[in-house]
Amino acid sequence: MSKAYDESSVTVLKGLEPVKERPGMYTRTENPTHIIQEVIDNAADEALGGFASEICVEICPDGGIEVSDNGRGIPTGLHPVEQISVVELVFTQLHAGGKFNKKDGGAYAFSGGLHGVGVSVTNALSKRLQVAVKRDGKISTIAFENGFVAEPLQEIGTCNLKDTGTTVKVWADGKYFDSPNVSLPELERILRAKAVLLSGVKVILKQHINGEITQKEWHYPDGLSGYLNDLIGENIPAVPTLTVERYFDEDVDDFAQGEGAAAALSWIEEGVASGESYVNLIPTPSGGTHESGLKQAVFTAVSRFIQHHNLLPRGVKLQSEDVFAKVAFVLSARMLDPQFQGQTKEKLTNRDALKLVSTALADTIELKLNHNVEAGKKIAEISIRQAQARMRSVKKIEKKKGSGVAVLPGKLTDCESEDIRENELFLVEGDSAGGSAKLARDKATQAILPLRGKVLNSFEVHRDQLFGNQEIHDISVAIGVDPHGIDDAVDLSGLRYGKIAILSDADVDGSHIQVLLLTLFYTHFPKLIEHGHIYVAQPPLYRIDVAAQGKSKPPRKFYALDEGELSAVLERLRKEQVKESAYSVSRFKGLGEMNPDQLKDTTMHPDTRRLLKVAPIMDKQAMNAIFTKLMGKGEAAARRQWMEEEGDKVVADI
């Protein structure tokens, strides 16, 4: 590496060179969908301002994607300062656009575009980009290749004065992206959302399939509520969808005329409640301050309703998360000057957006609740139930805390690493086996929690009563996750281990302990199974020691998981013509009989162990039926009948 560092060492990237040099700073590089979205957003901004009534996207057979609108058309005249055509300027210069001056009669009052960066990034990362503009009775075109003008602006015809609009056709350059093709599902979601949020605007997607053009149109006569009902799918709302909207008619406090928000809200008792949010039609998948404002508005409105109707039980204190935990929503905020985190605009960061949405919607939501008291009472019931569950959980955990922090079990031998991608916790049967496992482990990444005796059958134990069992309490605190249900919105950020392995003896008692622990995780920690964190270690049942066979073959040692593997090993030795007197077979009574080296080689070392990931192999209803039959306290008769019918299939370990 050259050691010279002088004035010539400094490089200045001009025009669109910064985008080509570091495309990940300006767009998502998984595929070109986002650079196409930038063009769609410009068309949507025309519609948002009331200047366009149709947006059409066409996926062409030649690999290009064409976006057209019937808005005002990009100006084609010379820029008064730069002295090049405006249409060329906005596609070739970063931070050039018509959306900066919004308060003093600018071209756009509300827009998703902010920095004048969007379509210039699209141009920079495209092999070719063509623009056709209808404006002032003229049709003009310009083309770019690799970000530079390839065909200068030229007038190619005339049109009616009222016939205006812009058409942009993009051929993305695959070398800048992991995949050269746009994501069709994501593109459809973007267009569908535009149709929902732009009342009266027709949104079309055209595709060429087998030589024929197929066309999709999106139209939501019910607006946000219709879209939300599509999002929640089969989940049945507890109350009819609540739709609220308010835009300020004049400047109010810190907000400008036209700013405000609209939202559709549904309370879901079963299943996961999810939401989508937008700012000036731009999707914000990472949320932001406008979502915080909606959460505050809902909490304020529901709290006032509960207080007004005297519905809050004694001793229950409502929190924002209690009210919003079961809310599925679509939020559309309109702001004069939104500020996003990054060019991809995935998260809104304006501090005043929280106040804007909260101020605009809180009173409106409360008014709706008081107009439909039964729905309001149902929402209050759901919120209070969430608060009571939270308070029970907090109360239980506080009993197990010292100095305000959850105390790790004293018998837990923890690992040094804090990276859950490599951390492993072994739940070991008995203190004896636990001692061997502690000596066999890799102390950097492997933790050991010995369990005393058999864990409680927790299948029919209420979640509130779980921590009455010390072993279950220790497991929960050690892994850093609270008990939960399959449909709960559980926080797994406290998870301390990426792999949680059940390590028990390879006998009937060991299998029973496995079943009890799997019942615990299936019933009360299902998200750990769903995300692939639960494993079962498979220690061997047999060891085969083979004496040395002359100078060429030193002593060998084999391990067998069960009778089948033992038979296979013995068959192999017979084929090698090893005499029966030259080898011996021993059976492990339990993990405690293994010395640390044996336990490490067979069960704990990542390169030589057998570790099975636990995953459901059938639907939830069938799984519940099996667990009920095997673990239900009132199912003794069913179990007896099952054993009588299936008992001849059992391979007994006697």
- Strand pairing of 401-402 and 126-135? unpaired
Which of 363, 509, 601, 635 does the annotation list as catalytic?
Answer: 509
Find residue 583's DSSP bridge partners.
546
DSSP letter (8 states) at residue 241 = P
Pick from 246, 315, 235, 314: nearest CA to 275: 235
Rounded Cα distance between 358 and 82, Å, is 43
Q: How many CB atoms lie within 10 A of CB 188?
A: 14
**At 589, which amino acid appears?**
K
Active site residue 509: yes
H/E stretch holding 187 reads helix 184-197
- Token pair for 124: 């920079």
- Distances in Å between the Cα of 240 and the Cα atoms of 226, 376, 383 are 12, 10, 16
d(CA 460, CA 631) in angstroms, rounded, equals 8
Beta bridge partners of 346: none
Which listed residue (66, 88, 276, 505) is catalytic? 505
Query: E strands within 240-361?
Result: 242-247, 260-267, 275-279, 282-283, 327-334
What single-letter DSSP state applies at residue 273? -
Contact present, 483 and 490 (Cβ < 8 Å): no
Token pair recorded at residue 468? 């009455």
Q: Using CA atoms, how far apart are residues 193 and 281, in angstroms rounded to an integer?
A: 8
| First vs last C-alpha separation in the chain | 71
346 carries an active-site annotation: no
- Annotated catalytic residue 62: no
Distance separating alpha carbons of residues 126 and 271, to the nearest angstrom = 42
Kindly state the DSSP code that residue 78 receives in the 8-state scheme: B
Q: What does each C-alpha distance from 442 to 419, 424, 425, 622 come to in angstroms?
A: 14, 10, 11, 39
SS3 at position 14:
coil
Among the listed residues 45, 88, 366, 429, the single catalytic one is 429
> CA–CA separation, 241 vs 264, rounded Å?
7
- Residue 342 backbone zone (phi > 0: left; psi -120 to 50: alpha; other: beta): left
507 catalytic residue (yes or no): yes
User: Measured between alpha carbons, how far is 276 from 231 in angstroms, rounded to an integer?
Assistant: 9
Q: Using alpha carbons, list the distances in angstroms from residue 618 to 621, 622, 624, 625, 627.
A: 8, 6, 10, 11, 12
Instruction: Choose, from 145, 186, 487, 507, the residue flagged as catalytic.
Output: 507
d(CA 600, CA 609): 8
Per residue, the 3-state secondary structure of 455-513, as one string, reads: CCCCCCCCHHHHHHCHHHHHHHHHHCCCCCCCCCCCCCCCCCCCEEEEECCCCHHHHHH
CA distance 187 to 568: 55
CA atoms of 228 and 211, how far apart (whole Å): 35
- Residue 392 has which token pair? 């029970």
The structure tokens listed for 98 are 């018509």
Nearest to 635 by CA among 457, 462, 455, 453: 457
Q: How far apart are CA 93 and CA 321, in angstroms?
A: 45
Tokens representing 268 are 């879901």
Tokens matching residue 26: 């300006």
Active site residues per annotation: 429, 505, 507, 509
